[in-house]
Amino acid sequence: MKLESSTPSWFSPAIIHRLAGAALAAPAVGLVAVLFVYPFVLSVAASLRTDQGEWTTAHYREAFALYTGDLWYTLWVCAVSLLLLLLVSVLLGGVLRLHASPFIEFLFKIPLFVPFVVVGHAMRVFLAPHGTLNSMFMSLGLFNPDSLPSIAFNTAGLILALVWKNIGFSLLLVMGAFRAVNPSYLEAARIVGAGGLRLIKDILVPMSTGSIGVVAVLTFTSMMGSFSIPAMMGSGSQMLMIDLYYQMVYQHNNGVANALGVLSYLVSMGAAIYYVRRVAKV
Q: For 6-50, what is each residue's pLDDT tens digit?
A: 555 556 777 777 777 788 888 888 888 888 888 889 989 989 988
> Domain range spanning residue 169?
67-281
**In this structure, is residue 167 part of a structural domain?**
yes
- Residue 263 three-state SS: helix
**In this structure, is residue 201 part of a structural domain?**
yes
Would you state the pLDDT for residue 166?
93
| Arithmetic mean of pLDDT, 232-259 | 87
CA 243, 245, 246: angle at the middle one, nearest 5? 65
CA 74, 75, 79: angle at the middle one, nearest 5? 120
Rounded-to-integer distance, Cα 262 and Cα 265, Å: 5
**In this structure, is residue 2 part of a structural domain?**
no
Q: How confident is the prediction for the chain on average, in pLDDT? A: 84
**In this structure, is residue 149 part of a structural domain?**
yes
Q: pLDDT tens-digit profile of 87-113? A: 999 999 999 998 888 888 888 888 888
**In this structure, is residue 146 part of a structural domain?**
yes
**In this structure, is residue 242 part of a structural domain?**
yes
Rounded-to-integer distance, Cα 110 and Cα 122, Å: 14
**In this structure, is residue 16 part of a structural domain?**
no
Q: pLDDT tens-digit profile of 132-151? A: 777 777 776 666 656 666 67
Judge whether 223 and 166 are in contact, CB under 8 Å. Answer: yes
The count of domains in the chain is: 1
| Arithmetic mean of pLDDT, 164-174 | 92
CATH code of the domain covering residue 117: 1.10.3720.10
Rounded-to-integer distance, Cα 162 and Cα 231, Å: 12
CA-to-CA dists, residue 266 to 49, 52, 65, 186, angstroms: 19, 26, 18, 41
Rounded-to-integer distance, Cα 255 and Cα 53, Å: 11
Would you state the pLDDT for residue 1?
46
Would you state the pLDDT for residue 149?
64
**In this structure, is residue 36 part of a structural domain?**
no
Helix axes 155-179, 116-127, angle to 10 degrees: 120
